[in-house]
């Protein structure tokens, strides 16, 4: 699919950002976080600065993107290419119309580069907190559609790989096959390092895929994603390899599945994030396993695999309408293993919609 960030949407986003900047008392914003630059302009390169003034949006990049930047950005911004230094070019652009107050993205700009910005302007340099990310949390229909496509690609890759998983393979061998399948199915790239964790290592929520050989009857946790038009999907499935599940494996899997289904069915826009998290957490805690579910229930998805909003027990922020979030409860026992199930969910005005297939039945790869 193409055209997920049309020019008119980009201009609307810039107008919303200007309104947010004005509310903060700023004359302009310097955007340095590349996903934010893509969201506002469509530029997909690896090096750029974006100056959003009240009267203009100016993208500054280097020689490598002399052809690409104008083609991708079109009328969404003025494009300036500098052969030597994007920072020197930024200084000249700022000097042509010095702002009284310039916001910077404090979460993405290094201290060194923040000092560099201060040296380029006589006005105040003001740290800001995720102004663009706040806009990105609310997804337009084409963004939701792109995440749905990415989830479909990830599911197709998993279906391609599952029949070949057997005892004796290493985690790294399975990860290589899965990542190859993701590319063959059409994923632009892997939005995060694929997690393949087996046996006791499945109790590590963010395990690094290793050379461990998978044994018969063991749990195998697969956490992987795909990208379509820059938008990410994030899925997790836990299976049993080379045998039937034992009673403990089956019990833990069924409990995680029940918790996930309850959350997906009852999440609603406007609900405080901690209440969304509790939909699954309370189910697990009621069975005495609350301490074994140590991470948040989920996170936002979009141009990044982790973005706003966060479904966390510590957050009172209301879930915005039209957000896309992961729902991924897990139970982990060190030395034994763990089960996590993850799907991608759209928070629509009339309820939730699962953008991934929601097929979380226990698979026994015999």
Number of domains in the chain: 2
User: Using N-to-C axis directions, what is the helix angle for 141-161 and 171-185, rounded to 10°?
Assistant: 130
d(CA 109, CA 49): 11
Flag whether pLDDT at 6 surpasses 50.
no
Helical segments of 130-246, H only: 131-136, 141-161, 171-185
d(CA 355, CA 275): 22
Whether 235 is covered by a domain: the verdict is yes
Residue 289's CB is within 10 A of a number of other CB atoms, namely 17
Flag whether pLDDT at 262 surpasses 90.
yes
Whether 214 is covered by a domain: the verdict is yes
User: Does residue 338 sit in the same domain as residue 197?
Assistant: yes
Of the chain, the percentage scoring pLDDT greater than 90 comes to 96
Interval 244-259 mean pLDDT:
98
d(CA 216, CA 201): 15
Flag whether pLDDT at 82 surpasses 70.
yes
Whether 106 is covered by a domain: the verdict is yes
Interval 327-347 mean pLDDT:
98
Whether 266 is covered by a domain: the verdict is yes
> pLDDT digit string (tens) for 93-133?
999 999 999 999 999 999 999 999 999 999 999 999 999 99
Q: How many residues does the chain have?
A: 366
**Enclosing domain of residue 38:** 7-135
Q: What is the pLDDT of residue 350?
A: 85
pTM recorded for the entire structure: 0.95
Q: What is the pLDDT of residue 2?
A: 43
Q: Supply the CATH number for residue 111's domain.
A: 3.40.350.10
User: Does residue 88 sit in the same domain as residue 154?
Assistant: no
Whether 333 is covered by a domain: the verdict is yes
User: Does residue 200 sit in the same domain as residue 348?
Assistant: yes
* Average pLDDT over the chain, rounded to an integer: 96
* Domain boundary pick from 118, 135, 152: 135
Q: What is the pLDDT of residue 8?
A: 74
Interval 135-159 mean pLDDT:
97
Q: Comparing 96-100, 214-218, 352-356, which segment has the lowest mean pLDDT?
A: 96-100
Tokens of 255: 């409990």
Angle, CA of 58, 74 and 53, to the nearest 5°:
20
Q: Give the residue, 163 or 6, on which the prediction is more confident.
A: 163
User: Does residue 208 sit in the same domain as residue 311?
Assistant: yes
User: Does residue 89 sit in the same domain as residue 184?
Assistant: no
* Domain boundary pick from 120, 135, 150: 135
The Cα-based distances of 133 to 37, 301, 308 in angstroms read 11, 11, 7
Q: Supply the CATH number for residue 264's domain.
A: 3.90.230.10
Structural element, H or E, at residue 264: helix 247-266
Flag whether pLDDT at 69 surpasses 50.
yes
Of the chain, the percentage scoring pLDDT greater than 70 comes to 98
Residue 288's CB is within 10 A of a number of other CB atoms, namely 8
> pLDDT digit string (tens) for 282-314?
999 999 999 999 999 999 999 999 999 999 999
* Domain boundary pick from 135, 170, 196: 135
DSSP per residue, 279-309 = HHHHHHHHTT-GGG--S-SEEE-SSSSSEEE
């Amino acid at each position: 699919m193409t055209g997920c960030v049309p020019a008119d949407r980009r201009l609307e986003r810039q107008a919303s950002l200007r309104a947010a900047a004005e509310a903060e008392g700023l004359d302009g914003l310097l955007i340095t976080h590349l996903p934010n630059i893509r969201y506002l302009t469509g530029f997909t390169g690896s090096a750029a600065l974006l100056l959003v003034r009240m009267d203009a949006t100016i993208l500054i990049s280097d020689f490598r993107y002399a052809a690409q930047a104008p083609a991708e950005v079109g009328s969404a911004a003025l494009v300036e290419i500098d052969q030597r230094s994007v920072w020197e070019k930024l200084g000249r652009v700022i000097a042509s119309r010095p702002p009284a107050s310039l916001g910077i993205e404090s979460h993405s700009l290094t201290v060194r580069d923040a000092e560099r910005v201060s040296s380029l302007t006589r006005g105040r340099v003001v740290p800001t907190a995720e102004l663009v990310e706040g806009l990105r949390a609310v997804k337009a229909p084409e963004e939701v559609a792109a995440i749905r496509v990415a989830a479909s690609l990830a599911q197709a890759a998993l279906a391609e790989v599952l029949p070949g998983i057997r005892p004796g393979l290493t985690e790294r061998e399975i990860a290589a096959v899965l990542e190859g399948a993701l590319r063959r199915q059409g994923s632009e790239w892997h939005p995060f390092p694929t997690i393949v964790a087996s046996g006791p290592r499945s109790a590590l929520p963010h395990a690094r895929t290793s050379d461990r050989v998978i044994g018969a009857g063991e749990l195998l946790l697969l956490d992987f994603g795909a990208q379509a038009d820059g938008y990410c999907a994030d899925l997790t499935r836990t299976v049993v390899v080379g045998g039937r599940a034992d009673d403990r494996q089956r019990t833990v899997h069924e409990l995680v599945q029940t918790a996930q289904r309850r959350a997906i069915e009852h999440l609603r826009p406007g609900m405080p994030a901690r209440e969304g998290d509790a939909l699954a957490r309370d189910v697990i805690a009621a069975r005495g396993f609350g301490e074994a579910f140590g991470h948040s229930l989920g996170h936002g998805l979009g141009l990044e695999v982790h973005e706003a909003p966060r479904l966390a027990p510590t957050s009172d922020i209301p879930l915005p309408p039209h957000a896309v979030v992961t729902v991924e409860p897990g139970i982990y026992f060190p030395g034994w293993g763990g089960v996590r199930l993850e799907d991608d969910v759209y928070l629509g005005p009339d309820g939730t919609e699962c953008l991934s297939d929601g097929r979380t039945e226990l698979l026994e790869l015999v």
